[in-house]
A and B are shown apart, each in its own frame.
Chain A
Amino acid sequence: MMGAQPFETIVGAHHGEIYRYLRRVTSRPTEAEDLSQETFLRAYRSYRALDADANVRAWLFAIATNLSRNHFRSEKRRRIALQTASVENREADPEGPEDEALFGEARALVESTVRGLPLKQRLAFIMRKIHDLDYEAIGQGLDCSPESARAHVFQALRKIRVNLNGHALPPAGDADRRPSRSIDMEQPR
């Protein structure tokens, strides 16, 4: 069984997003580069066996997530990554446009909280809140049920809430303007 589309198409459509996901998960460009390459090399080995109607994006996220978990299995490695992360991230993120500057401080706090989360919570949070994956897909990468995936995101938000305690935040105007995600997440894959 050949995959439904040539592999070049898969790379073209998804490499950028997978790289950015791993960039955020690892916080280091070289690790993200390695892991994103490994993700697609692994995908290449097995994409021919993929069903024609498979959700390729969710499948790639699952591979990338698995590789990240193996990568961070050594806690020491993760600590080193964390120590360098805050410096590098600051360099990589230029100040946003003026209306975004309002969020600057709060955002930095959120980011540092996310970096300090237990790995599964961090991965689930990034997949859900940054990449809009549904819980079914998130569960695949984390080897857990959609309900557990949802619980990881819930725990992550609670920790952010605690860490931001007493910190003044801009009103939720932007949040109101963003489309609700309460419907698409329940669609069957």
Chain B
Amino acid sequence: MHISLAAEKIIEFGPIAITNTILVTWGAILVLVIVSWFATRNMTAVPGKLQNFFEMIVEALLNLVESITQDRKKAEKFLPLVATIFLFIITANWMGLIPGFETIGLKEIEHGKEIFKPLLRSPASDLNTTMALAIIAVISIQVAGVASIGFFKYFKKFFNFKGPIDFFVGIVEGISEIGKIVSFSFRLFGNVFAGGVLLAVVSSLIPILVPMPFYGMELFVGFIQALVFAMLTTVFLQIATIGHDGHE
């Protein structure tokens, strides 16, 4: 039973390598694009089944964002980023549970040892993917803060010269922004990677029937982690755009 923290490289063009998680990321993008193309062509005022289903999802996400921002217009501005994060992560996580992932692959000889390289692997089980999502989210939060309350007013939060304690608090705020990147990426990575390891171990011990509740748990965890990533992004966006003296 092979367990590798790093994603395995499938194709290499010199310094650029395509890993199995990149392949599945492209697959997730393809799934989302095709499904949304089908859902949004020939849109009618009284929606058909697929359009209705996606209208439900978009409305649920908009209501979730609005419940945090308390402002419809702001919620509509935040929705594209938050909904994309949610839909991509949930598609990626649930696709990673399809049978064949992390089991069908190539046996290769590398450094004289024979290792097994699965062809497909859940994208969020690769720290690169989750780190990229986290960096995108945190940079978008900074950009949204600057765009809504102005460059100097936003960065006054980090460079606060009103007094020695406020100065220290500003520095801690800056460090906590970096901490957000770490916490976003490791939360998603840890949950999905550990879930994959758990499924591999349980399936290798008793492959019949017993893995079923674990698959159920992984479905649930995949949904919750997508929701938590999206909700936390919304909360931090809201905090960044209300200004420093909003909570004095």
A binds B: no
Question: A-side interface residues toward B, CB under 8 Å?
Answer: none
B contact residues vs A (CB 8 Å cutoff): none
